[in-house]
Each structure stands twice: as C-alpha cells, then as structure tokens.
C-alpha cells in the first residue's frame, strides 16, 4: 500500500500543473452552459420540466458521458505514451511494484478527471438553481419528491458516474499498456467504446455492461424531478456497484497479468 | 563487497540469442565498462539487470537481492539510466527528481534535490520543464535521477551521449568521484577513450557473450582500443 501511495503522489505531480487547474472552472462553466441551454427547452415546453434538479441531472449526464469518453481515451493515450517514450521504463527501474505504478497512474488520472466531473456537476447544479431553483417536484400541492430526497439522489448518481469514469479510465489504461503506443491504444479504446454501446442493444448483455450504468442514476434523478416516479438512483446503485466492481476487478487483473509478463524492451 | 552479481543470465528474442549465459560481478568502488559493437547484447544485459526484462535463465543480484524475486529491495539499492533519458516532459527538472523519489516511496529532501542538481550542473534550469531541456541537459538530469537515492550501484547506459566535451569531462570526473566514495558503477559506452579514462575494468561483449574481461591500465593509452577491435573482429570473423 505504501508503494501505491508513493506512486500515486508521483503520478499526481504530473497532473497538478498550473494549466490543468484551469480545467476545473472550465468544466463547471461548460456543464452550466449546457444545463442552461436545456433549461431554455424545458421553459418552452419542448422537453423536460422546469425544475432545477432536472436541469442539474441532465447537465451532469452530458458531463458524465463526455468525461468517461475523454477519460478512457486520455488514459489509453497517456499510458501508451509512457511506454513509447520510455517514461514507463524509468518508472519501473524504481523500487515500486509494476502493478502499483500502473494502478497509481490510472488512479491519478481518474482522480484528476473526477475533480473536473465534480466541478461540472456542481456547475450544472448551480445552473439548475439559478434557472428554476432547487425545489421539490410537485403536482399541485402534492409533493412527489422532496428537495432533500432529490439532493441525496443527485449525490448518489454523481458518485456512480465517478465510479463509471474510473472503469473507463482503467479500460483505456489497459489498452494503453497492452499496445504500448498511444495511437493504437486510442484507436482500440474507441473501438471498445463503440463495441460496448453496440452490445448494450442486446438485452441479455445490457445488465452486465458498465455503459448501461454510467448515467443510470442521473436518469432516475431527471425522471424523479419531472414527477415520473420510478426506481430511484439508490435503488439501481447496488447493481451498478456490482457491475463496476466486476469490470474494474477484471481490468486490473488483466493489467497486472500483462504488465507482470511484459518485457520493457524499449 | 559485491554490489552486482550476474550469474549465467540468458535471454532469447525469437531466433536471436541476445544474451548467452553470461556471468560477472561488480564490486563496491569499482567502475566497470561494458563494451561491445551494436547488437552485442549490452542493452539487453542492462535491462536484465534492471529487472525490465525477464531472463530465460540465470539470476541477477543487486546488493544481495534477487531482482526477479525481491525486486523492490534489489532496485532500492541501485540507480539506473537505461537507454535514452526518459523523464516526464511536463515536469520541471526539480519536479522530475521529486517524481523519481516518490516512485521510490518517499519525498525528496529539498537539500538533496539541490545537491543533485548541482552535481549534474543543472541548478540554473531547476524550474525549466524537462521537455524544454536540451538532450545533454536531459542526459544530466537522468543521471541525477539515478544518483538521487545515494545508490550503492549505478548502472548507466551510454551516460555520455549528448554531452558536450566539457560535459563529458565533468561527468567522467563525477563518476570517478562516486567510485572513490564506494559506489559501484557499471557503464556501457561507445566512447572507448572515456571508458579507458574512468573504468578500472572492462567487459567486452559480442554476440551475447562476454568475450574479454580486462583490467584497464590508464597509463597504457590506446590499449583498450586494441583489445576492443581485436576481440570483436575475432568474434565476427
């Protein structure tokens, strides 16, 4: 564990540059702008409901999908480039376990992108608050979903998005590791993403794919905020956690196997 | 004291026997030059020593620790520059040293960071990003990174590449000073004159084998060149 923490500190140094700090407010502003644009449509009755939580959930959904896609591609490119440039060779000459270094690289990327996603979700929440206010979903005088419930469900949904993003980063990192070059890693990650989306149309497989659960919590919040009572984010969370854990475990185990056997030749 | 013990290691890539059951030792305070023509197996040998490549047979011990079975303890005793200098380009020179230190599991002391940067002549560019450094500066920084943990063994692959003549002289002096302080050094190089100036012993490789092992007589200028060409030509004949 000490080796993993040390490697995480090392890899975090590479991300925490002055330039990358600007990504946080940028993510918040972009997500807020997206949510606000959805608010215009909701206000005109085109789709959605004039409810701040609906805007927040819809805005955060866009941010979560973008963030997972960017995370997977970025991890593939970064890990592939580490091997192609020799940075991995330098790192693996240090007294750190191979798997610990790789996992730390992914964890650092994941936490950096996770912060950006959190900023985006807060931006979307703020946009929802400013546009319609963060009020309970009601029908006449009847409260369909209280404000506290919607806030809690939103938090759970965002946590699920963060986990889903972690799986995406790990999958990209595995392909970066396996190919050892950024170009093929990015291409194979894009193919994997497209493949997962295609497989999601097969009902037997859909409940086992991480893409199914990436934004499922936010979908529930959006529905709840519109008064469409169905399963809550907290209801789908256990299944989502199970699927994410299986994929993450599988990807990390495969990475450990590949890296353990790999000759770091050049 | 034996800092590096290489025992009958072998590595094959497909049909090519890159390293063919070689054995040698490097002792504390000794500078050993590893010579050989291109394709002789020097780089593979150094990668095997660093644990980057899995051997088909044999063992490598760093400070008594088997690099395959006690990897972390073995690598903690050594500093490496394998092939070209490769540190993250987005970090500053001092940040790259911090990165290397954290990969070893601890923070770098600011004083040690300054000391190493001064040793390799990079104090003035400490805050410059690695990607903005010249090849020679990157080479110096990579050597500094290898020195950071005060290793008992240094394994350097072509450490003088990219250095200007004063840089070559300074680095040679630094390596000799480290050896005087008790560090064991294994240095691969094509610069026979510099190896002759700094090394106390040389191993000459050809076709994956050690074909000659000689003490260097610094007073006998040119002897190493004669030895190198005689054994490598004999092997290729």
State chain B's mean pLDDT as an integer: 90
- Which residue blocks in chain A are alpha helix, DSSP H? 2-15, 18-21, 23-43, 52-85, 87-92, 98-132, 147-179, 182-199, 210-213, 216-225, 233-261
Give yes or no for residue A128 having a pLDDT over 70.
yes
Q: How many CB pairs under 8 A join A and B?
A: 88
Q: Output the pLDDT for position B236.
A: 59
Report the distance separating Cα A154 and Cα B119, nearest Å. Answer: 55
Q: Output the pLDDT for position A23.
A: 84
Contacts of B47 in chain A (CB under 8 A): 263-265
Give yes or no for residue B182 having a pLDDT over 90.
yes
State chain A's mean pLDDT as an integer: 91
B127 token code pair: 């805050």
In order of A200, B4, B171, B217, B231, the CA distances from B176 in angstroms are 64, 18, 9, 15, 26
The mean pLDDT of A31-53, rounded to a whole number, is 77
Q: Output the pLDDT for position A46.
A: 61
Q: A7 CB contacts (<8 Å, ≥6 apart)?
A: A91, A96, A100, A101, A103, A104, A105, B102, B103
Q: Output the pLDDT for position B215.
A: 87
Surface of A (44-73) touching B: CB under 8 A:
none
Q: Are strands B201-206 and B31-35 parallel, antiparallel or unpaired?
A: parallel
Contacts of A10 in chain B (CB under 8 A): 98-103
**Closest partner CB to B86 (pick from A6, A10, A87):** A87
Among candidates B65, B37, B78, which has minimal Cα distance to B209? B37
Contacts of B76 in chain A (CB under 8 A): 95
Check CB contact of A207 with chain B, cutoff 8 Å. no
Q: How far apart are the CA of B73 and the nearest CA of chain A, in angstroms?
A: 7
Residue B6 is inside which H or E element, if any? strand B2-13
Flag the least confident range among A29-33, A80-84, A184-188, B79-83.
A29-33
Q: Output the pLDDT for position A266.
A: 63
Q: Output the pLDDT for position B218.
A: 62
Burial class of residue A147 (count of CB atoms within 10 Å of its CB; 0-12, 13-18, 19+): middle
- Is the CB of residue A146 less than 8 Å from the CB of residue A78? no
When pLDDT is cut at 50, 70 and 90, the band that residue B234 belongs to is low
For the sheet with B78-81, list strands across it: B78-81, B153-157, B184-188, B31-35, B201-206, B209-215
Give yes or no for residue A215 having a pLDDT over 60.
yes
Q: Output the pLDDT for position B138.
A: 93
Q: Output the pLDDT for position B132.
A: 95
Report the distance separating Cα A206 and Cα A203, nearest Å. Answer: 5
| pTM of the predicted structure, to 2 decimals | 0.92
Report the distance separating Cα B5 and Cα A203, nearest Å. Answer: 59
Asked whether the beta carbons of residue A95 and residue B145 sit closer than 8 angstroms, the reply is: no
Contacts of A3 in chain B (CB under 8 A): 72, 105
The mean pLDDT of A120-144, rounded to a whole number, is 89
Q: Output the pLDDT for position A143.
A: 86
Give yes or no for residue B237 having a pLDDT over 60.
no
> Which comes out higher in pLDDT, residue B237 or A136?
A136
Place of tokens 């169905």: A230
When pLDDT is cut at 50, 70 and 90, the band that residue B49 belongs to is very high
When pLDDT is cut at 50, 70 and 90, the band that residue B147 belongs to is very high
Q: Output the pLDDT for position A230.
A: 73
Residue B168 is inside which H or E element, if any? helix B165-180
Among candidates A149, A152, A148, which has minimal Cα distance to A229? A149
Q: Are strands B31-35 and B184-188 parallel, antiparallel or unpaired?
A: parallel
Asked whether the beta carbons of residue A264 and residue B80 sit closer than 8 angstroms, the reply is: no
**Closest partner CB to A86 (pick from B83, B95, B98):** B83
- Which of B90, B99, B186 is the best residue to mutate to test the A interface, defined by the most A CB atoms within 10 Å of its own CB? B99
Q: B235 CB contacts (<8 Å, ≥6 apart)?
A: B206, B207, B211
Asked whether the beta carbons of residue B72 and residue A91 sit closer than 8 angstroms, the reply is: no
Flag the least confident range among A16-25, A159-168, B7-16, B23-32.
A16-25
Q: Output the pLDDT for position A229.
A: 65
Among candidates A193, A199, A191, which has minimal Cα distance to A169? A193
Q: Output the pLDDT for position B220.
A: 62
> Per residue in B209-228, pLDDT tens?
999 888 887 656 677 777 77
Percent of chain B with pLDDT over 70: 96
Report the distance separating Cα B126 and Cα B91, nearest Å. Answer: 10
> Per residue in A61-97, pLDDT tens?
999 999 999 999 999 999 999 999 999 999 999 999 9
Q: Output the pLDDT for position B223.
A: 73
Between helix B93-103 and helix A2-15 the angle, nearest 10°, is: 160
When pLDDT is cut at 50, 70 and 90, the band that residue A131 belongs to is confident
Residue B138 is inside which H or E element, if any? helix B135-147
Asked whether the beta carbons of residue B105 and residue A91 sit closer than 8 angstroms, the reply is: no
Q: Which residue on chain B is closest to A264 by alpha carbon? A: B52
**Closest partner CB to A263 (pick from B54, B71, B84):** B54
DSSP A100-164: HHHHHHHHHHHHHHHHHHHHHHHHHHHHHHHHH-S--EEETTEEEE-HHHHHHHHHHHHHHHHHH
The mean pLDDT of A23-36, rounded to a whole number, is 86
Place of tokens 């400490």: B126
When pLDDT is cut at 50, 70 and 90, the band that residue B142 belongs to is very high
């Amino acid at each position: 564990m000490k080796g993993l923490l040390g490697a995480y500190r090392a890899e975090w140094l590479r991300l925490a540059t002055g330039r990358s700090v600007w990504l946080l407010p940028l993510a918040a502003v972009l997500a807020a702008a997206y949510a606000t644009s959805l608010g215009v449509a909701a206000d005109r009755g085109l789709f959605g409901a004039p409810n701040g939580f609906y805007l927040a959930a819809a805005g955060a959904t866009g941010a979560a999908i973008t963030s997972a896609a960017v995370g997977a591609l970025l991890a593939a490119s970064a890990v592939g480039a580490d091997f192609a440039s020799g940075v991995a060779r330098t790192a693996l000459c240090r007294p750190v376990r191979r798997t610990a270094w790789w996992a730390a690289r992914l964890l650092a990327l994941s936490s950096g992108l996770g912060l950006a996603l959190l900023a985006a979700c807060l931006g979307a929440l703020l946009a929802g608050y400013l546009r319609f206010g963060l009020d309970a979903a009601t029908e006449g005088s009847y409260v369909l979903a209280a404000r506290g419930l919607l806030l809690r469900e939103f938090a759970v949904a965002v946590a699920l998005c963060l986990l889903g993003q972690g799986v995406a980063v790990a999958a990209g990192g595995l392909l970066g590791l396996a190919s050892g070059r950024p170009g093929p890693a990015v291409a194979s990650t894009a193919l994997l993403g497209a493949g997962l989306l295609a497989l999601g149309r097969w009902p037997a497989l859909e409940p086992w794919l991480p893409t199914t659960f990436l934004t499922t919590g936010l979908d529930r919040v959006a529905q709840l905020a519109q008064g469409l009572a169905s399963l809550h984010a907290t209801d789908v969370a256990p299944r989502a956690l199970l699927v994410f854990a299986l994929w993450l475990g599988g990807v990390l185990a495969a990475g450990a196997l590949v890296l353990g056997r790999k000759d770091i030749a050049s | 004291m034996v800092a590096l013990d290489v025992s009958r290691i072998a590595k094959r890539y497909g049909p090519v026997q890159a390293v063919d059951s070689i054995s040698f030792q490097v002792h504390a305070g000794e500078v050993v030059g590893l010579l050989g023509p291109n394709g002789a197996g020097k780089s593979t040998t150094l990668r095997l020593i660093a644990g980057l490549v899995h051997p088909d047979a044999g063992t490598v011990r760093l400070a008594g620790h088997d690099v395959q079975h006690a990897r972390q303890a073995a690598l903690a005793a050594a500093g490496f520059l394998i092939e070209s200098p490769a540190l993250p380009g987005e970090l500053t020179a001092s940040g790259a040293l911090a990165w290397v230190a954290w990969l070893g599991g601890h923070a770098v002391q600011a004083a040690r960071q300054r000391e190493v940067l001064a040793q390799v002549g990079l104090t003035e560019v400490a805050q410059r990003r690695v990607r903005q450094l010249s090849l020679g500066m990157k080479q110096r920084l990579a050597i500094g990174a290898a020195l950071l943990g005060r290793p008992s063994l240094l394994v350097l692959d072509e450490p003088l590449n990219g250095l200007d003549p004063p840089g070559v002289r300074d680095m040679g002096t630094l390596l000799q000073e480290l050896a005087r302080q008790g560090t064991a050094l294994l240095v691969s190089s094509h610069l026979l004159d510099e190896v002759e100036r700094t090394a106390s012993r040389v191993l000459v490789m050809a076709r994956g084998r050690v074909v000659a092992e000689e003490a260097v007589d610094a007073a006998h200028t040119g002897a190493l060149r004669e030895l190198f060409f005689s054994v490598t030509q004999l092997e290729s004949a």
